[in-house]
Structure 1
């Protein structure tokens, strides 16, 4: 981060308590310069969805110069696992699986179960790519993906690269 005190850093994080102090320390960002958007999985599933709109507003209204998409490695709670265990949802999940296989919506997985259990690294990488290449995000905004590893009580942050140039995004369902 450069020395301009008016510039803000935006963190798109998972809904998990206690990340802010770790992020402040590792990214050397003072609390008064931090903005946080929280969502389950810290992912942007659509380039024109609600989370992306919040990111764009933050960039222009809060003078954001840097964005970190933050995931946590080996998250202990798995909402997706509990959802797929519900007997009442089997028919709906089968229908959605059919749509996933034949329509290819903008989800990383090929089935509902894979979508609910997306790999944190893949999700972060996809979200970074969506933000970096969004036509309303200025080119001066730095976008990086980070994964916090809290195994054994230690926290380390590993940068996640954006998708490689020339890689195509998932197919869209047009009908």
Structure 2
């Protein structure tokens, strides 16, 4: 890999995941930049995570972006929206937000607050959605390769990307 060029990896929160990926892909840790994310999918194309991705790509001349998740990553047993709904004050605020989701479509890419708060049901689907969102973003240079991977037993497997219409 050319000097000063990096791979930006967006990974889960699991301990040792970064080292496992570097060993599996035979890359040096100093050739990587790492962002950790709780959920496998990027829910906001103009949110903080995307801003961090854009900044790191440009600042560090990243050649590639990898979204890598553990194939058996545990999703939450209870949705965030269920937890928030238990609090009366938060429940009232969520109803206000739900109104905004229903009536301010240009600002919100999801159709409801529950959809925004919940990750994809399937880890691979979340990775595919993230790859598609990054590839479509106008501030990601066209020469930057964006790939999605699942890791299982220290083996990286590239997953098929979605096309522009969201299909494989």
Fold match by TM threshold 0.5: yes
Shift of 1:141: 0.5
CA gap of 1:80–1:27, structure 2 versus 1, over 3 A, is farther
Question: What CA distance in whole angstroms lies between the structure 2 residues aligned with 1:101 and 1:6?
Answer: 42
Could you list the per-position Cα deviations for residues 149-169 of structure 1 after superposition, in whole angstroms to 9, with x for gaps in the alignment?
Answer: 2xxxx232221222224x069
Could you list the per-position Cα deviations for residues 112-141 of structure 1 after superposition, in whole angstroms to 9, with x for gaps in the alignment?
Answer: 279525221111111111111111111110
Structure showing greater relative contact order (alpha-carbon pairs closer than 8 Å, 6 or more residues apart): 2
For normalisation by structure 2, the TM-score amounts to: 0.77
Question: What CA distance in whole angstroms lies between the structure 2 residues aligned with 1:116 and 1:160?
Answer: 22
CA gap of 1:37–1:114, structure 2 versus 1, over 3 A, is closer
1:172 aligns with none
Shift of 1:5: 2.5
Unaligned runs of 5+ in 1: 170-175
| Deviating more after overlay: 16-25 vs 85-94 | 85-94
CA gap of 1:130–1:16, structure 2 versus 1, over 3 A, is same
For normalisation by structure 1, the TM-score amounts to: 0.74
Question: What CA distance in whole angstroms lies between the structure 1 residues aligned with 2:57 and 2:78?
Answer: 31
Could you list the per-position Cα deviations for residues 71-119 of structure 1 after superposition, in whole angstroms to 9, with x for gaps in the alignment?
Answer: 2222246264476367715883984896699567434x97827952522
Question: What CA distance in whole angstroms lies between the structure 1 residues aligned with 2:132 and 2:86?
Answer: 36
Are the counterparts in 2 of residues 124 and 145 from structure 1 also a CA contact under 8 Å? yes
- The alignment of Structure 1 onto Structure 2 pairs a total of residues equal to 161
Unaligned runs of 5+ in 2: none
CA gap of 1:23–1:100, structure 2 versus 1, over 3 A, is farther
CA gap of 1:97–1:52, structure 2 versus 1, over 3 A, is closer
| Deviating more after overlay: 114-123 vs 81-90 | 81-90
2:127 aligns with 124
